Structure 1
Amino acid sequence: MNNSIHILVAEDDSDISRLLCNIIKKSGYIPQPAYSGTEALLYLERRQWSMLLLDLMLPGMTGEELLKRFDGRDDMPVIIISAKGEPRTKVSVLRGGADDFITKPFDVEEVSARIDSQLRMYARIAQPPKPNMLKHKELILDRDAMSVTAAGAELTLTAREFEILSLLLSAPKKVFTKSNLYERVWQEPFYGDDNTINVHLSNLRSKLVKAAPGSDFIETVWGMGYRLRP
Structure 2
Amino acid sequence: MANNNDSRILIVEDDTNINNYIFESLSINNYNCKQAFSGTEALLYLGKYDFDIILLDLMLPGISGEQLISEIKNLTDSSIIVISAKDELESKVDVLMLGADDYLTKPFKIEELKARIFVQLRNKNKKVNNKLMKYKNLTLDKSLHKVMIENNEVDLTPQEFKILELLLSFPNRVFSKQDIYDFAWDEYFEGEDKTVNVHISNIRKKFKKYSDEEYIETVWGIGFRLSK
- Provide the TM-score with structure 2 as the length reference: 0.58
1:165 corresponds, among 134, 152, 156, to 152
- Equivalent residue number for residue 127 of structure 2: 125
Question: Where do residues 1-230 of structure 1 align in structure 2 (5 Å cutoff)?
Answer: 2-71=4-73, 75-131=77-133, 143-144=135-136, 146=137, 163-166=150-153
Give the C-alpha shift of residue 69 in structure 1: 1.2
Q: Deviation of residue 79 (structure 1)?
A: 0.2
Q: Per the alignment, do residues 3 and 27 of structure 1 end up closer, same or farther by CA in structure 2, a change over 3 Å counting?
A: closer
| Cα-Cα RMSD | 3.0
Q: Decide whether aligned partners of structure 1 residues 116 and 131 sit closer, same or farther in structure 2, where only a CA change above 3 A counts.
A: closer
Residue deviations 1:158-192 (CA, integer Å, cap 9, x gap): xxx954434x869x9xxxxxxxxxxxxxxxxxxxx
The alpha-carbon deviation at position 131 of structure 1 amounts to 4.5
Kept in 2, the 8 Å contact 1:11–1:17? The answer is yes
SS of residue matched to 2:9: strand
Q: Which runs of 5+ in 1 are unaligned?
A: 133-142, 148-160, 173-210, 212-230
Q: Tell me which amino acid in the other structure corresponds to 1:52.
A: I
> SS of the counterpart of 2:103?
strand
Who wins on radius of gyration, i.e. which is larger?
A: 2
Residues 131/32 of structure 1: CA separation in 2 closer, same or farther (3 Å cut): same
Contact map agreement 1:72 1:97 (CA 8 A) in 2: no
Supply the distance in 1 between the matched residues of 2:69 and 2:41 (Cα, whole angstroms): 14
| TM-aligned CA deviation for residue 100 of structure 1 | 0.5
Contact 1:7 1:51 survives alignment (8 Å): yes
Letter of the structure 2 residue corresponding to residue 165 of structure 1: N
1:129 Cα deviation from its structure 2 partner: 4.4
| TM-score of the two chains, using structure 1 as the length reference | 0.57
Structure 1 pair 74–36 and aligned structure 2 pair: CA distance change class (3 A): closer
Residue pair 1:53, 1:78 contacting (<8 A) in 2 also: yes
- Residue 6 of structure 1 aligns to which amino acid in structure 2? R
CA deviation digits over 1:1-28, x for unaligned, max 9?
Answer: 7332110000011100011112211332
The alpha-carbon deviation at position 80 of structure 1 amounts to: 0.1
CA–CA distance in structure 2, aligned partners of residues 163 and 9 of structure 1? 37
The alpha carbon displacement at 1:125 in A equals: 1.2
1:126 shift after superposition: 2.0
The alignment covers a number of residue pairs equal to 150
Q: Any stretches of 5+ residues in structure 2 without a counterpart?
A: 139-147, 159-208, 210-228
- Structure 1 residue matching 2:27: 3-state secondary structure: helix
Write the distance in 1 (CA, Å) between the matches of 2:48 and 2:32: 16
Separation in 1 of the partners of 2:155 and 2:86? 46
| Cα deviation code 1:15-44 (max 9, x no counterpart) | 000111122113321110000001001111
